[in-house]
Amino acid sequence: MPLGQRAGDKSESRYCGIETEFNDDMPQVLHQNISGGFDFVVAPLIDPSYRPSSAKNDGNGTLIPPFAASDLILSPSQWSSHVVGKISTWIDLDSENAELRRDSEDALKAEIAWASHLSLQACILPPPRATGCSNYARTVNQLLQNVNNMQLWIRLPLEQHEAVEDDAIDTNFKTSSGGRMFDSWEWWNTFRLLCEHHNQLCVTLDILSSLPSINSIGRWFGEPVRAAIIHTNAFLTNARGYPCLSKRHQYLIKSFFNHTIQIILSGNLVHDISQERILPAGDDNHFEGLPIRHALRPYLDYVAYLYQSMDPLPEQERFEVGYRDFLQSPLQPLMDNLEAQTYETFEKDTVKYTQYQRAICKALLDRIPDEKATTSTTVLMVVGAGRGPLVRASLQAAEETGRKLKVFAVEKNPNAVITLHSLVKLEGWENIVTIISSDMRCWNAPEKADILVSELLGSFGDNELSPECLDGAQRFLKPDGISIPSSYTSYLQPITTTKLYNDVKAHKDLAHFETAYVVKLHRVARLAPPLEVFTFTHPNCSASINNERYEKLLFEIPADTGSTLVHGFAGYFDSILYKDVHLGILPSKATPNMFSWFPIFFPLRKPIYVPAGSPVEVHMWRCCAATKVWYEWCVSSPSVSPVHNTNGRSYWVGL
């Protein structure tokens, strides 16, 4: 039974599981826990006493596996939907004991083969040993080549603790006393590197009573974490004897829900609650009265309460759910003619056009004083008019301010021009709006404009060639004319995003690693605050206009984050339309409820390992040629990457 209904959220995080011990009677285990309110069980599939070296054979050298019951005890759909396999915890493929190492490899392969035969969706692997994991990872990597769609979730503790002196783990994390701090993320990073970033290798985190810093936890949101196992002894006890969690744990669990991470409960009942009692209704630590049917039902109810207490997804988020972490090629509206469906999607973004209307209102009021409102006419040119939303916003601004307006709507897409003519006729704007079917860079205007309005901004500000277009159009703007937007700045931010990296890697070529993508970022870890990259101002009054740019950026990742992996960079923009009216997607001041732009993503061909406390130095170029504009990027510290997209060989925007 799902934890609850949260408007707009249909993710797997609605389902809660329970960790169980080995039991031959799997139908009873499943019935007991599913009827007790849980959605699935994490169960050992193999008798923990089984060791391959002690198993009998059939006389031909083939081992007879005496370790599991028949697959027929559950239906295929029950195995697939309600059981996550748990690999035997005694397995140690990096043991110094050769017999144990051989037994471990045989057992792991047999258990994974059995789980695959049962069509399980996932199996949880035991954590690596402190002495190393090379052979373990090698064997898992072999298995990953043949498990079809089953995921393997390696189990790791979400904690940091001081390591003993002879601990062989490479940590890089120091305590205040000078000792080494063990960081479980290092285990994960070593393991996934040995497994070649395989997209079916995922993580399960053990949540205990102590938690690392918020920044350290934040790294995991960019990793393929599928589940978090909360132990009953991590729960506190409230004044009435019921289980509850600390504020930090509550925040963590809700963050897991938001990142599509499922919760699994583990352990025994550690709160003194009679099985005959009824849970009272109440606030944060109390629930609606229900008889306790399962030993861990109080903990399940508390997790359900946390889920149900979350705010519903905003309307904008509900619209964008289907686009989360999906790579899209940026639009090229200058080189290509947009289709009707694309226009329609952007035209639904009323917030954007409201901001434009506000900016135009302010510009009209500054341009024409009240005493000249009825006698003076402002010439406004919409360059890149599309199907007319900015024309409408301009005329509404004129009506709101009581100013007279003459509008030129310039559009190069002949299909959109047809719609523009229809709109002008339908609205009766024939005496106000003149439609120009031309590229703004080629048109010779019959008169100068007081206000130049455009919506040529891309996710990175200038990536749809707004500078080149507006530089070409500003020749028909009066010397004291106003450009809306008046300026825009791009921003860059290092991120961990295993999902996007694997999606790019799946193409198995260089070109896709040297291409920028538009993405609704979701399963990402933002490792440092965004920094400014390029700024463009309009009209451009420079004596010699040059839109090439170069910037060196130094990102300081908080020291308590620990080590991390940079898969690429998220790009944003913020623009000033006019005076105090701004528009943008920079997370710290994004325009609320606007969906016209998703961030842009610049991938790295090889992820960069960043030791704890190390800065990340990034170089970004905007390059221009006669027929195209492109970006190049690289990392120079803490290690050096190749310069990506040299000469625009993989990705460019056509002029």
**Apex CA 596: angle with CA 455 and CA 309, to 5°?**
150
Determine the residue type at 461. Answer: G
CA-based torsion, 416, 417, 423, 426: positive or negative: negative
Cα separation values, 17 from 39, 42, 141, 284, 303, Å: 6, 7, 27, 22, 11
Do β-strands 653-654 and 243-244 pair in parallel, antiparallel, or remain unpaired? unpaired
Q: In whole angstroms, what is the distance from residue 499 CA to residue 315 CA?
A: 25
Question: In which residue ranges of the chain is pLDDT below 70?
Answer: 1, 7-8, 54-69, 160-181, 273-292
Q: In whole angstroms, what is the distance from residue 58 CA to residue 583 CA?
A: 73
193 phi, psi to nearest 5 deg: -65, -40
Please check whether residue 644 is in contact with residue 634, taking contact to mean a CB–CB distance below 8 angstroms.
Answer: yes
- Residue ranges of domains in the chain, CATH in brackets: 12-313 (3.20.20.150), 340-455 (3.40.50.150), 487-654 (2.70.160.11)
Tokens representing residue 198 in the block: 């395989």
Residue 363 makes CB contacts below 8 A (sequence gap 6+) with 451, 482, 484, 578
Please confirm, yes or no, whether 556 is among the known catalytic residues: no
Using a 10 angstrom Cβ sphere, with 0-12 exposed, 13-18 middle and 19 or more buried, the burial of residue 75 is exposed
Q: Which of 111, 455, 514, 632 is catalytic?
A: 455
**How far is it between the farthest Cα atoms of the chain?**
107
* Residue 353 labeled ligand binder: yes
* Residue 311 labeled ligand binder: no
Please confirm, yes or no, whether 96 is among the known catalytic residues: no
Please check whether residue 219 is in contact with residue 269, taking contact to mean a CB–CB distance below 8 angstroms.
Answer: no
Tokens representing residue 493 in the block: 């931010």
pLDDT at residue 276, as a whole number? 43
Tokens representing residue 347 in the block: 């035209």
Please check whether residue 91 is in contact with residue 107, taking contact to mean a CB–CB distance below 8 angstroms.
Answer: yes
pLDDT at residue 602, as a whole number? 98
Q: What is the pTM of this model?
A: 0.90
Tokens representing residue 212 in the block: 């690392």
DSSP three-state, residue 202: strand
* Residue 440 labeled ligand binder: yes
Q: Which residues pair with 406 in a beta bridge?
A: 379
* Residue 439 labeled ligand binder: yes
Tokens representing residue 531 in the block: 């920094």
Q: Which of 223, 464, 468, 632 is catalytic?
A: 464
Do β-strands 160-162 and 181-183 pair in parallel, antiparallel, or remain unpaired? antiparallel
Q: In whole angstroms, what is the distance from residue 69 CA to residue 241 CA?
A: 40
